[in-house]
Amino acid sequence: MRRQYDADILERLALIMACKNAGFSLTEIKGLLGPGGVAEDRSALRAKRDELLAERARIDRALEGLEHAISCEHDNVLTCPRFKEELRAMLPLRDRR
């Protein structure tokens, strides 16, 4: 026998999946979907967006470094001035000598 679910149940499951895909934990999702949740307070969504944007920026920087290392004309990428500069840029300001 095949189970039939109401459209609102399927929509709620899709919403839970979307939240999971965005990186929310099940505990966070419970808070988002409960009273006073996402429909009334979008601060958790903004915070997650900011977290994901920061993660995307970190990944983009990592990809750029890898792309340079792959295509670098130096025999040893560790001797490349541009690559060394990218490495220095990762250090805290006081250590960038």
The distance in angstroms from the start CA to the end CA of the chain is: 70
pLDDT, tens digit, 9 for 90 and up, residues 58-90: 999 999 989 999 999 999 999 999 989 888 888
Q: Residue 96 has what pLDDT?
A: 55
CB within 8 Å of 65: residues ≥ 6 apart: 83, 86
pLDDT, tens digit, 9 for 90 and up, residues 3-46: 888 888 999 999 999 999 999 999 999 888 888 777 777 888 89
